[in-house]
Amino acid sequence: MLRDIQRGGDAQVDAAIGVIAAAAPDVLVLQGIDYDLERAALHALAEAIVKGGGPDYPHRFALPSNAGLATDFDLDGDGRKGGPGDAQGYGEFFGADAMAILSRHPVIAEQLRDFSALRWVDLPGGIPPKVDGTPFPSTAALDIQRLSSRGHWVVPIEVPHFGRIDLLTFHAAPPVFDGPEDRNGRRNHDEIRFWNLLLDGEFGPPPHERFILLGDANLDPHRGAGRRAAIAALLAHPAMQDPMSDIPTVTWDQTGPMRVDYLLPSKALTVLRTGQKSNTAASRHALIWADLTR
């Protein structure tokens, strides 16, 4: 990915930059961007966005991802170790398909909250997989399994003349590609449900009153596979509003249009307008956006 960005002329990279430049958000949360220690890929993308007529993002934020983070266990239960499904989050290499934030405004890094290392078994009321009452794929594997397939972040942004806004972001596992133990379906459910617990104070003080929960939940409220009670509960949380209700955000060949990406501002924010920018050459997912004020 870094090579393609730096070399220029890659059709998908150019299309993605075009979508971003057209939307020109003040703050942009990226899903599926590879992580590297020195953020070389993120810096290269930010510079390419400027060259492509988009905004300048001087504040660039990324953390190590669970995607591709190797373990010594068979986590996916296929009887082998060392595959992409045996990492803390599915990934062919460490940092594959991670998350990042580009912002015109400063990130308050010292007040960041990163829950990416939370063990699945430590989630109150969690539903880790079992087969005949035995933890799947093993007690030892589940003991080290993290909840987040990429990460769960609370990232404060200081917006001039506006104040602090907390970004709550994640990228949940798809609730498919597993067996009757429903490991991915259960994980997707609990990755989404984590936010309800956070907002209710289960993990310390709730976020600042002005916050936005945004990310890829990989779950439609009405269609497709998955345990939809999780997303229904999140959308019904009294602290948030849903200004883009039932608007599809992705089109997959197998399923057609579905809503799996979410932008949910807190009730303390006023939504002026919302919309989407898309180009299938960039991604099957649309860039969803909202203009907000106090």
pLDDT, tens only, 129-142: 999 999 999 999 99
Distance separating alpha carbons of residues 96 and 250, to the nearest angstrom: 21
CA distance 213 to 170: 9
- Read off the pLDDT band of 29 (50, 70, 90): very high
Query: What was the pLDDT predicted at 222?
Result: 95
Share of the chain above pLDDT 90, in %: 98
Question: Which pLDDT value is given to residue 104?
Answer: 98
**pTM of the predicted structure, to 2 decimals:** 0.97
Residue 8's CB is within 10 A of a number of other CB atoms, namely 10
pLDDT of residue 240: 98
Could you tell me how many residues make up the chain?
A: 294
pLDDT in the model for residue 54? 98
CA distances from 119 to 66, 115, 143 (A): 12, 9, 8
Token readout for 107 is: 């990130």
Mean pLDDT of 163-183: 96
Element (DSSP H or E) covering residue 292: strand 287-293
CB 146 within 8 A of CB 126: no
- The confidence score (pLDDT) of residue 95 equals 94
Q: How far is residue 258's CA from residue 47's CA, in Å, rounded to a whole number? A: 32
Residue 122: band (very low, low, confident or very high) from pLDDT cuts 50, 70, 90 = very high
Range 108-128 average pLDDT: 97
Share of residues in the chain with pLDDT > 70 (%): 100
Per-domain boundaries in the chain: 2-293
Burial class (CB in 10 A: 0-12, 13-18, 19+), 169: buried
Residue 168 to residues 92, 113, 214, 265: CA-CA distances in angstroms? 26, 9, 6, 10
pLDDT in tens, 36-61: 999 999 999 999 999 999 999 999 99
Q: pLDDT tens-digit profile of 253-277?
A: 889 999 999 999 999 999 999 999 9
Q: Dig out the tokens for 136 from the structure.
A: 């799947």
Q: Which of 153, 87, 92 has the alpha carbon at shortest distance from 118? A: 153
**CATH assignment, 2-293:** 3.60.10.10
pLDDT bin (cut points 50, 70, 90) of residue 152 is very high
